[in-house]
A and B are shown apart, each in its own frame.
Chain A
Amino acid sequence: GQQLNQSPQSMFIQEGEDVSMNCTSSSIFNTWLWYKQDPGEGPVLLIALYKAGELTSNGRLTAQFGITRKDSFLNISASIPSDVGIYFCAGQHINNFNKFYFGSGTKLNVKP
């Protein structure tokens, strides 16, 4: 099936630092989503992207839909302890509107 490569797998950062993570695909996507999952809970939608080149912010979070339509980036500025969790990207292929493909997640740890 479709593969999404998400990196890095995990990050250990100091409170106040900025964070970047990304997802790449071998296929063209028409939608990119970014989710955050806390332990034992379901993923919560952070940002949705629908157009190539689109840059969208949600508070300290900024995500971009890559120009090639094969990648997406998520940045978190001035990290705080509650940013701890697993961040997932999800993409919808241009030929299949019925399914989202998910990356394997980036586990973020923030040291106070």
Chain B
Amino acid sequence: EPEVTQTPSHQVTQMGQEVILRCVPISNHLYFYWYRQILGQKVEFLVSFYNNEISEKSEIFDDQFSVERPDGSNFTLKIRSTKLEDSAMYFCASSADRDSSVDTQYFGPGTRLTVL
């Protein structure tokens, strides 16, 4: 069964450093998402991406965040200058459709980001 993959599974970085989290969505999906979950808190939407541009972003997704689909398979989340509060589990998801009552988003296993 096709699945969303994410690398690395765990990333440790120093405050102020740039990190890139990588995702390979399911191959025939058109919509891509990033969510994050701070330890003990809700899973929160960050951004959605379609047709090589951002469809929607949350208040969390400020100028230090960016997303890119550099080739036909990868989808990346870049955090330019990490802060302690960026420590969280970051989930990538993809879907074939959007705003569909029958469609679901498929989630990757997550990347745990620890900022020291």
Do chains A and B stick together as partners? no
